[in-house]
Amino acid sequence: MKTFQIPTREQVSPANQAFFDNLTKMAGHVPNLYAVFAHSENALGNYLTLGSGKTSLRAKEREVVNLVVSQVNKCLYCLSAHTAIGKKLGFSDDQVLEVRRAEITFDPKLDTLAKLVKSIAENQGHADPQLVENFYAAGYNDGNLIDVVIAVGDKIITNYVFALTVVPIDYPIAPEL
């Protein structure tokens, strides 16, 4: 497989340099997976716009989506990054593992979300109808469902980019389940 180069700031377009600068200010560095988006003139900006868009999902709900989809797609880069992010949001190590399994014991509403997201990801959008009903019964609404689908799509993008580029992981490696 081709070795995918991680471009430096000096190797990308001026527009992507500005994104690199903003990422460095926000995160302290440009994550390798984001850097490879900059091989395209437009992909990094488009992806960052999608990822930073408004959503009805709370931060922890968003991380549930990120971790469950990344587990289904076996994306070690995203599992590692979102384990670190989830811990910053207050998930313990054990809770992160529960989220990845979609077997959450510490929050019934997040468990319902995780089970639905797993079904969406495993079945290419054709989720188990009972899990959709459970989602609504847990207090979610139609807007939340659409936001979940957008978040699943967002994570599939990075999972697939990593699968095709296999860039070095620049986060502490997530433990295996």
| Cβ-based burial of 172 (10 A; exposed 0-12, middle 13-18, buried ≥19) | exposed
| pTM reported for the whole predicted model | 0.96
Among the listed residues 2, 3, 7, 54, the one whose alpha carbon sits nearest the alpha carbon of residue 30 = 7
Which pLDDT score is estimated for 40? 97
* CB hemisphere CA count around 153 (13 angstroms): 10
Domain count, the chain: 2
Residue 1 included in any domain: no
Among the listed residues 151, 145, 161, the one whose alpha carbon sits nearest the alpha carbon of residue 51 = 151
CATH number at residue 149: 1.20.1290.10
Domain that holds residue 46: 9-51
Residue 2 included in any domain: no
Non-local CB neighbours of 170 within 8 Å, separated by 6+ positions? 29, 31, 32
Q: Are 127 and 120 contacting, i.e. CB atoms less than 8 angstroms apart? A: yes
Looking at the structure, do residues 64 and 127 belong to the same domain, yes or no?
A: yes
Which pLDDT score is estimated for 2? 77
Looking at the structure, do residues 65 and 37 belong to the same domain, yes or no?
A: no
Q: What is the pLDDT along the chain (177 residues), one digit of tens a residue?
A: 778 899 999 999 999 999 999 999 999 999 999 999 999 999 999 999 999 999 999 999 999 999 999 999 999 999 999 999 999 999 999 999 999 999 999 999 999 999 999 999 999 999 999 999 999 999 999 999 999 999 999 999 999 999 999 999 999 999 999
Which pLDDT score is estimated for 46? 97
| Cβ-based burial of 30 (10 A; exposed 0-12, middle 13-18, buried ≥19) | buried
Looking at the structure, do residues 75 and 15 belong to the same domain, yes or no?
A: no
Residue 50 to residue 154: CA distance in whole angstroms: 7
Residue 170 included in any domain: no
Looking at the structure, do residues 121 and 147 belong to the same domain, yes or no?
A: yes
Looking at the structure, do residues 37 and 111 belong to the same domain, yes or no?
A: no
Radius of gyration in angstroms for the set of CA atoms belonging to the chain, rounded to a whole number: 16
Looking at the structure, do residues 77 and 42 belong to the same domain, yes or no?
A: no
Looking at the structure, do residues 74 and 97 belong to the same domain, yes or no?
A: yes
Which pLDDT score is estimated for 170? 95
Which pLDDT score is estimated for 3? 80
For the beta carbon of residue 93, count every other beta carbon within 10 angstroms. Answer: 11
